[in-house]
A and B are shown apart, each in its own frame.
Chain A
Amino acid sequence: MKLVQELYQYREFLKTSIRKEFRGKYKKSFLGVLWSFINPLLQLLVYALVFPFIMRVQVENYTMFLIVALIPWTFFNSTVCQSTSTIIASSGIIKKVYFPRAILPISNVTSNFLNFLISCIIIVVALLISGIGIGASIVFLPLVMFLQYVFSLAISFILSSITVYIRDLEYFVNVLMMLWFYLTPIVYEVSMIPERFRNILNLNPMVHIITAYRDILYYQKAPDLTALGILFLICFFLLWIGYHIFHKCEKRFAEEL
C-alpha cells in the first residue's frame, strides 16, 4: 500500500523513466521507432520460412498462426532479457538519491508493453489482409494482455534484483529464454505434443497466455476461462512474491552496485 502511495507521488519520475526507456531504445538508430515493426517482421519472416518449408510443419495459414503468438512472445522475451540489467544500468542514480526502486522494473515492463501495443498493429493488419478478420472474441484480449503484463512484472522484479547479487544471471537468462521459447507453443501447437508430456508443459504459464492469444485472434473463439482464472491467481501470487524478493534485495542495492 505504501508503495502505491509512493509511486503516485513519484509519478512524474515514473513517466519520464518510461519515456526515456521507450525512446532511448532506438534513439541512436537510423530507422528509430520503425524498428518496433521491422524487428518482429524480420523474425517472423525467418520462422515463417524455416518451419513450413524446412521442418515441414503442416498448419493451415502458418504465417498467421505464428504471428499471433510470436509478437506477444517478443514482448515477454525482451522484457525478461532487459530486466536483468535494469537495476545495474541505473546504478548512478541509485547511489545518489532515494526514490522507490520499484519504478525501474515497472518502467522496463511498461515501455516494452507500449512497444508491444505498437507491434499489435502488425497483427491487426495481418488479420485483415489474410481474411481471418477480427471477431467478437477480441473482448478477451485486454484481459490476456493484462495477465501477461503482471506475469512479466513479477519476473522482472525477481530477476532485476537478484542479478545485482549474482551477475551471471544475465547470461544464464539469455539461454534460458531460448529454451523457454521452445517450451511454449509458438511455432507449434499444444496438440502436437504427446499426451504424456502435456501435463509438464502446462506448468508453464506462458503456454496458457500464448494459447489464449491464439484462441482469440487466430481461431476467433473465447479462450479457456478456467485456465485464465487459475493463471490470474498465479500471476498475482507471483507478483506478490516477486515484489517481496525485490523489497528484500533493494535495501542493499546502493552498497552492492
Chain B
Amino acid sequence: MKKQKENLPAIKVSHVTKTFNVYYDKANTLKERIIFLNRNQKEVRKVLKDIDLEIQKGETVALIGVNGSGKSTLLKLMTKIIYPNSGTIKINGKLTSLLELGAGFHPDFSGRENIYFNASIFGLTKTQIDQRLDDIIAFSELGDFIDNPIRTYSSGMYMRLAFAVAINVDADILLIDEVLAVGDQHFQEKCLKKMKELKKEGKTMVFVSHSMESVKFLCDRAVWLYNGQIREDGPTEQVVKDYLKECS
C-alpha cells in the first residue's frame, strides 16, 4: 500500500480548462445589476485549454512562456486559490506556494511577529515555527532589524524576510512564481542555491520564470505554455532553445 502511494505523481493535472469572465464594466451591487442589465457584458476568456500535466515526485519543472500564456493561472490552480471549470488536479503531499510573498504581513508588527503570522497561514503550528525561527532569521540576513516593525523595512528587506519564511516551511511540493526578481545579486544567488539544496533533498518544485539562466540552472524539465496550451514538454535545454528561437 505504502509503495503504491510513493509511486503516485506529486501533481497530476488532467483535462483542466479555466476561463475567466472579463467584465467591461462590472456591476457590483444589485442596483447596478438591475439598472444596467445591458452594461453587464462580459467576455469569456479561455486561459487554459485542456491541460494535461503530470509531475513526478522529486522533479523540478519550469513553466515558461510569454506573458498571458497561463503560467501563473496554472500555479494558482495547483495551490487551490482558484478552481478549474472542468478537469481535476490531484496533489500528493504538502504543498506550499510562493506566488506572492508576505501574505498576512502586518506593517505595525515586528519582523519576528510577522514570521509567526506568515508561517501560520502556511499551516504551521507554533512549535513548528519555534523550531524554524532561527533558520528563518539567519536566512533573511536581517540581524537586529528583526525586532523592528516591518513598515521600517526597505522593499528588499521585506522580500528577504518573506522568502526566508516561505522557503523554510518544509513542504514536499513548492510552487515558485517569479519571486527571485527580489533582492540584490547576492540574495538571488543565495535563493537559487537554497532551492538547489531543496531539490537535492528530493522536493518537487514547479518554477515559473522569465530568466532562462535560472531555469537552466535549476530545472531538468521544462514545459512551454503557449496560449493556454502546452506547446512543448521535455528536457530544459531543448525546450529553452526552441522557445528562444520562437521569441527572437
| Contact surface of A with B, Cβ cutoff 8 Å | 9-13, 15-16, 20, 92-99, 166-168, 251-252, 254-255
Contact = CB atoms under 8 A, between A and B. Distances in A.
B100 A96 contact: yes
Interface stretch (B49-57, B78-86, B215-223, B238-246): B78-86
B44 interface: no
Interface string B23-59: 0000011110000000000000000000000000000
Contacts of B123: 9-10, 13, 99
Interface of B: 20-21, 28-31, 76, 79-83, 97, 99-100, 103-104, 106, 116-117, 119-126, 129
Contacts of A168: 29-31
21 contacts: A10-B120, A10-B123, A13-B121, A15-B120, A16-B116, A20-B106, A95-B100, A96-B100, A96-B103, A97-B103, A98-B80, A98-B81, A99-B121, A99-B123, A166-B29, A167-B28, A167-B29, A251-B83, A252-B82, A252-B83, A254-B81
A166 B120 contact: no
Contacts of B99: 96-97
A15 B117 CA distance: 10
Given A98-B81, A251-B83, A11 B117 contact: no
Nearest to B31: A168
A16 B120 CA distance: 8
B21 to A, nearest CB: 8
Contacts of A251: 82-83
Of B79, B97, B104, B126, the most chain A CB neighbours within 10 A belong to B104
Nearest to B102: A96
A95 B120 contact: no
B205 to A, nearest CB: 17
Contacts of B116: 12, 16
B122 A97 contact: yes
Contact of B81 (A10, A92, A95, A166): A95
A254 B97 CA distance: 15
Contacts of B76: 254
B125 A12 contact: yes
A15 B126 CA distance: 10
A98 B30 CA distance: 29
B168 to A, nearest CB: 15
Nearest to A99: B121
Given A12-B129, A94-B81, A97-B100, 14 more contacts: A9-B123, A12-B120, A15-B126, A16-B117, A92-B103, A93-B104, A95-B81, A97-B103, A97-B122, A98-B97, A167-B28, A168-B29, A251-B83, A254-B76
